[in-house]
Amino acid sequence: MIRNKYILIAFRLVVGGMFIWAGISKIIDPLGFAQNIANYRVFPEGISFFLALVLPWIEVICGVFLILGIFLSASALLLSGFLVVFLVLIAATLIRGIDIDCGCFGSLSGKVDYKLILTDSILLFFCLNIYFSPKMVQIKSK
């Protein structure tokens, strides 16, 4: 794991910023995001709408916490869990040959492809480094 304090702070800023941006873009269009979730053909319709209302807020809150340096372990762990689920969904979608937009950034989302697996894997690496080194990346106030 990475132990350099400045690299870990950069990880926090990158992951936090990405999840804030992703969450806000979904909050703006919850029906569009619900349709993106439904396109994966994994969740029942009612659950898709529930997830579309709840997940973006969790993403934004955890992103803000990472940037502010509070609740780092909980935020990094929760976002790591999200990323693992996203990776499984993306892989399953590719294996099943379903051609859809990922829904990651609302109307700015790209297609589900192997680049998305790489991107989410890098973000997962960042999150896990934050999770396993929380004391090193907290902002200390005096």
Question: Mind listing the pLDDT tens digit for each residue in 43-90?
Answer: 988 899 999 999 999 999 999 999 999 999 999 999 999 999 999 999
Tens-digit pLDDT profile for residues 93-114: 999 999 998 888 877 788 899 9
- Give the number of domains in the chain: 1
Please indicate, yes or no, if residue 38 is contained in any of the structural domains: yes
* Contact between residue 14 and residue 122 where contact means Cβ atoms under 8 Å apart: no
CA separation for the pair 16, 12 (Å, rounded): 6
Give Cα 77 distance to the centre of its chain: 11
119 within some domain: yes
Closest CA relative to residue 19, chosen from 58, 72, 73, 69: 58
- Label residue 141 by pLDDT band (50, 70, 90): very low
The model's pTM is: 0.90
Does 24 map to a domain? Answer: yes
Range of the domain at 72: 5-133
Domain presence at residue 140:
no
Q: Is the pLDDT of residue 135 over 70?
A: no
Reading the block at residue 33, the tokens are 């995001």
